[in-house]
Amino acid sequence: MLALLSLTAPASARDLDSAIGKAVFDRLWVQAPASTKSADGLGPLFAARSCASCHAGSGGRTTFRLGRDDPAEHPGLVIRLGAADGRPDPTYGAQLQPEGFGKAPGEGRVAVRFAAAGRPDWSVTDWGYGAPAPETRLSPRVAPSLSGVGLLARVPEAAILAREDPEDRDGDGVSGRAARLPDGSLGRFGWKAAEPTLEAQAAQAFLLDLGLSTTDRPDPAGDCTAAEPQCRTAPHGAEAGEPEVRPELMTGLVAFLDRRPAPPPRPASPRGERLFVAAGCAACHAPSLPLTGGGEVRAHTDLLLHDMGEALDDGMGEGAAKSAEWRTAPLWGLSRALAQNAGLMHDGRAADVRAAIGWHGGEAEGAKARFGRLSDKEQAELLAYVSGL
CA Rg, the chain, in Å? 21
Model pTM? 0.94
CB atoms within 10 A of CB 67: 13
258, 274, 294: which is the final residue of a domain?
258
What DSSP element (H or E) covers 99?
strand 99-100
Taking the C-alpha atoms of residue 274 and residue 141, their distance in angstroms, rounded to an integer, is 32
User: Do 98 and 107 meet the contact criterion of CB atoms below 8 Å apart?
Assistant: yes
Q: What is the pLDDT of residues 180-222, one digit of tens each?
A: 999 999 999 999 999 999 999 999 999 999 999 999 999 999 9
- pLDDT score, position 8: 43
Asked if residue 186 belongs to a domain, the reply is no
Same domain, 26 and 117: yes
Same domain, 274 and 240: no
User: Do 197 and 250 meet the contact criterion of CB atoms below 8 Å apart?
Assistant: no
- Do you know the residue count of the chain? 389
258, 291, 309: which is the final residue of a domain?
258
Q: Residue 313's domain spans which residues?
A: 149-180+262-387
- pLDDT score, position 39: 86
- pLDDT score, position 283: 97
Number of domains comprising the chain: 2
Same domain, 74 and 52: yes
- pLDDT score, position 11: 57
Name 82's bridge partners. Answer: 137
Taking the C-alpha atoms of residue 7 and residue 27, their distance in angstroms, rounded to an integer, is 14
Q: What is the DSSP string of 138-168?
A: EEEEEPPP-TTHHHHHTS-HHHHHTT--TT-
- Among 240, 210, 254, smallest CA distance to 41 is for 210
Name 77's bridge partners. Answer: 142
Same domain, 91 and 229: yes
210, 243, 258: which is the final residue of a domain?
258
- pLDDT score, position 38: 77
- pLDDT score, position 269: 87
Taking the C-alpha atoms of residue 303 and residue 330, their distance in angstroms, rounded to an integer, is 8
Same domain, 331 and 248: no
Query: Which residues of the chain fall short of a pLDDT of 70?
Result: 1-11
